Structure 1
Amino acid sequence: MMNWRALSHTKQERIWSEVNQLIKWKPGSRFHHIIPLDPYRMFDISSGMSGKASNDDVVRVLNDLETSILKAFQSCTGNQDVIYALDWQHDGYTFSPHQAMPKDEFGDWPVPIFPDRDYYFFFHQGFSWGLLDDLWKCTITVFGEELLKAIDKYRPILFQNR
């Protein structure tokens, strides 16, 4: 997966340290609230986890989420920029949203957009904007003015007000 470059252990530790300071996240504590930078918006994604929808509907909504977020990432980055993709307690990566986005054997990015097993965080290389998944609260939080504007332009079905 050429576009997805694994972070070295040292670099990953440095990035997590920065992230924990930036969003006041204390993983492993009873009070692991994520406090994103202003401006931010939190989107309820529980409908994507609902057992009520058909499998085809879920696949359609999750594919739309990935496509929409990728378009938003592309509109907020230059060709040389990278995004940090962090998976709590697993390997982290950098990737360019302007290159091919290969998927694993399950049809996912190495760090998926939709939180199905863990906390997944995406940050622009300069930490000026990002996307924070919280599986336990069924939310995706988007912060940073540039990414919020892009999300408004390429709004995923899952983020539509119902």
Structure 2
Amino acid sequence: MWSRFSAAFDFRPSTRNRPAITEPSPSAVWHLHSHQRVVSDLPAGLDTIVQRGLLAATEPGEFVYWLDWQHDGYRYDPRRTGTPGRPPRPGLGTHPDGDYYLHLTADLRLGTFGHPWEQTLTLWGPALLAAVEGELTELLGEPVRRRDRNGAGASPA
């Protein structure tokens, strides 16, 4: 999955490359630092929102891949993990904790990309954005970058 992701998104891992991917259309990028929230609560809240969005945006039986740069990745079904009576979701979550973290579908049509040094979270795919954009904006503030369906980029003024 890393090879496919790297080729499709022109992934450029580095502490200096920002952004480290060519952001797909449509997508939105949020900064993970905000003075309006308690930082210790952010990773759990962020993961809850993203997991709810992945559940809404994927088809029954469709797998999601969780990738952690230079570590083992996992494949899981969001409907069969992380709920009472089911095994926990694999991986460490969504908030990048020193490594790039991704959640994505096999066809790469939707996903998340956490950049640990830029401290941003990119989400792409119309269904995923529709499911969580409002909640993420409430938690993190307005996106710092966007790309619309036509590939046009925009940054807040």
> Is the partner of 1:112 in helix, strand or coil?
coil
| 1:23 and 2:9 are equivalent in the alignment | yes
Q: If the length of structure 2 is used for normalisation, what is the TM-score?
A: 0.75
Distance (whole Å) between structure 1 residues aligned to residue 45 and residue 12 of structure 2: 31
Contact 2:24 2:124 in 1 (8 A): yes
For 1:1-162, list aligned pairs within 5 A. 15-27=1-13, 31=17, 33-47=20-34, 57-101=38-82, 102=88, 109-152=90-133, 154-155=135-136, 157-161=138-142
Amino acid at match of 1:119: Y
Distance (whole Å) between structure 2 residues aligned to residue 154 and residue 141 of structure 1: 14
Report deviation, 1:144. Answer: 1.3
**What is the RMSD of the two structures over their aligned residues, measured on CA atoms?**
2.6
CA pair 111-156 structure 1, distance change in 2 beyond 3 A: farther
Q: Would you tell me which structure has more helix in proportion to its own residues?
A: 1
Q: Deviations over 1:90-147 (max 9, x none)?
A: 00111111123226xxxxx523211112001111122101100001001000111111
Structure 1 residue ranges without an equivalent (≥5): 1-14, 104-108
> Is the partner of 2:30 in helix, strand or coil?
strand
The percentage of counterpart residues that share the same residue type is: 26
Aligned to 1:7: none
Distance (whole Å) between structure 2 residues aligned to residue 89 and residue 18 of structure 1: 15
Tell me the matched-pair count: 137
Distance (whole Å) between structure 2 residues aligned to residue 69 and residue 21 of structure 1: 24
Contact 1:61 1:157 in 2 (8 A): no
Distance (whole Å) between structure 2 residues aligned to residue 141 and residue 58 of structure 1: 19
Distance (whole Å) between structure 1 residues aligned to residue 111 and residue 142 of structure 2: 21
> Is the partner of 1:42 in helix, strand or coil?
strand
Q: If the length of structure 1 is used for normalisation, what is the TM-score?
A: 0.73
